[in-house]
Amino acid sequence: MAPTVQHTAARAVALLEDGVLRASGYLIAPTAVITCAHVLTQTDWIGTRWDGSTVEFDLAATLSWPDADIAILIPRTPVEVEPVTVGVVDSLYPERLPFRMYGWPLWGAEAGPDGGVRDGGRMVHGLIDPSDTSPDSNLVLQPDRTGASHLLGRSDWKGMSGAAVFCLDRLVGVQRRHVDVSRPDSVEARPLQLLLDQPGFPELLQDLGVVVDRDWTITGTRARRTRLELHGPDAVPLFSVTDFELRSDGWDRLFWRATAVDRTRPEEITPVRPVEVLTCAPRDVAHLGGTGTLTVETSRDTDEASESVSRPFMVTAPSGLEVAALYEIAMWLLNEARRGGPPPENDRAGRLAASTADLVEHAVNVAQPHSLVTLAARGLPALRRSIAWALNESSRRLRDADDRLSAEDRKEAKHTYHGAYVVQQTLANQAYGRFDPSDPFWSHRLRLLGFANHTELLAHITPSLSHLAIAPGSFEASVLELLVTVGQVDIRSPDYTQATGEIQGRFNDLVNALLREGMTRWDGDSVRYLVPTAVGQLRLPQMLVSKP
């Protein structure tokens, strides 16, 4: 089995010329620094900054392969590091691969006190899609962080050329170029694979102690069990949904569980990609101030000998900002419940608002002392009463009841909502400014309600025909059959008005989706008979076709 050597920033090398940063490199062996050929000059030595200190390596040799744009610098004095292992990215591999590289890009530099520039090293993670192609046979990188140097016409990535690109624990290439200065994420790397078949290069790597693992694969029958790692934060807020990153090579199946005190939740994983994300809500496994532990094992039976990895984490109290954010989400859902839409949609939004208000109350009770927490606590009673008013109204409309709120009750409902609204605006001004549910800050918090983002949440509140997932033989399919065969549906038919509450709700969702997506319209001025539109006449029969 090839040795496992993890990529680390401590082995990254900044290449200097006359004290000025020129490029990046990496110690791949005790006497070898890999970089790009195009960054080299005609000098016999090049200054380097390695492991936080500035050293001038006296080079014994500079080996360059200009066609591949790869170079290896041979310092006379060895450095105590383990040789890396070189791997190959198979262009037919069906999944995206994680990569990381460390170097000194221009966007990481800062202005120094003397007016000069201080270079800043940056660790860059991202993905490689093996199927992406480059005209120059480069690896197309998708970095998860970029920056702006604010120097027009200059690449933000200047200085990063030569940085070693690792996929998991395999060196696969060196960062080569920034393709388009107007696109910060258009970065490519030169694969070492280009040199592995050239005479002399594999022998050089062997002399350096660098292993070339040509059979390296991530999954499948040839997979190497070289890694079982679990990464995540040391402390997570009580009111959060936290991602832990599992990195594994070669396991057909794994088992994970989150534990605290006497709670256990085992769950099987069948790895289909080298990095799996395990999602854990701290409230499921630990109380405030307690410790949760995420464990991944190769066997479900704890008595059976197996490999495992664990990640403990402390559960911390929510901050004032987190409490304010929960209050904002509850108000957003309340507004969805109060708008004059279909009753089932208003009801779903109202119930989610009530669940979020429960989170607000819990968060207020355990949060760190803060003015935002005090303010949210002050607005919570009005928020709860407003949600109750909204749910009462949607219930009345669902029942198609004739009883209406009195003028006094309507005045009270309006006054109550105003009280909750004033608190919301004050929190926004003091804490987070504008509410944008599509922003990652907010979508992350929507996960507390069980939704990956606001689009998924809105699809739950206002389902489309695709989200209704109409199956052959279902109630919804019978309604579509009437539209196709009879040409109309009487929404006041006793089949619907006297059906169970569940069927009435499903019927309302279907009717609203058909109208919203242009499949049907009302026949005449009476809101009673639903008839297909021209679009519906074409598409409704297709929706009834059973899929094999």
Question: What HEC string does 264-313 produce?
Answer: CCEEEECCCCCEEEEEECHHHHCCCCCEEEEEEECCCCCCCCCCEEEEEE
Half-sphere exposure of 118 (CA within 13 A, CB side): 6
Q: Which residue has the higher pLDDT, 291 or 509?
A: 509
Q: What is the mean pLDDT of residues 431-445?
A: 73
In a domain, 44, yes or no: yes
pLDDT for residue 94 is more than 70: no
Q: Are 52 and 118 in a shared domain? A: yes
Residue 334 to residues 182, 361, 413: CA-CA distances in angstroms?
A: 42, 16, 13
DSSP state at residue 468: H
DSSP state at residue 205: H
Q: Are 284 and 326 in a shared domain? A: no
- Classify residue 379 by burial, with Cβ atoms within 10 Å: 0-12, 13-18, 19+: buried
Give the CATH number for residue 263. Answer: 2.60.40.10
Give the CATH number for residue 144. Answer: 2.40.10.120
Please identify which residue in the block is written with the tokens 């003028």.
407
Q: Are 441 and 505 in a shared domain? A: no
14-18, 52-56, 169-173, 448-452: which has the minimum mean pLDDT?
A: 52-56
Could you tell me if 328 and 359 are in contact, meaning their C-beta atoms sit under 8 angstroms apart? no
pLDDT for residue 212 is more than 50: yes
Domain limits for position 473: 467-543
In a domain, 2, yes or no: no
Q: In the prediction, which pLDDT does 262 show? A: 36
pLDDT in tens, 61-91: 888 898 899 999 888 888 888 888 888 887 7
Q: Are 254 and 328 in a shared domain? A: no
Tokens representing 382 are: 């009005």
Domain count, the chain: 4
- 279, 300, 316 - which closes a domain: 316
Q: Is 127 helix (H, G, I), strand (E, B) or coil?
A: strand
- 439, 461, 483 - which closes a domain: 461
In a domain, 45, yes or no: yes
Q: In the prediction, which pLDDT does 113 show? A: 62
The mean predicted confidence, pLDDT, of the chain is: 77
Question: pLDDT class for 514, splitting at 50, 70, 90?
Answer: confident
In a domain, 4, yes or no: no
- 316, 337, 352 - which closes a domain: 316
- In the chain, pLDDT over 70 holds for what percent of residues? 78
Q: Which residue has the higher pLDDT, 70 or 275?
A: 70
pLDDT for residue 224 is more than 50: no
pLDDT for residue 232 is more than 60: yes
Chain centroid to CA 273: how far? 15
> How far is Cα 231 from Cα 294, in angstroms, rounded to an integer?
10
Chain centroid to CA 242: how far? 11
> How far is Cα 169 from Cα 221, in angstroms, rounded to an integer?
19
Q: Are 297 and 444 in a shared domain? A: no
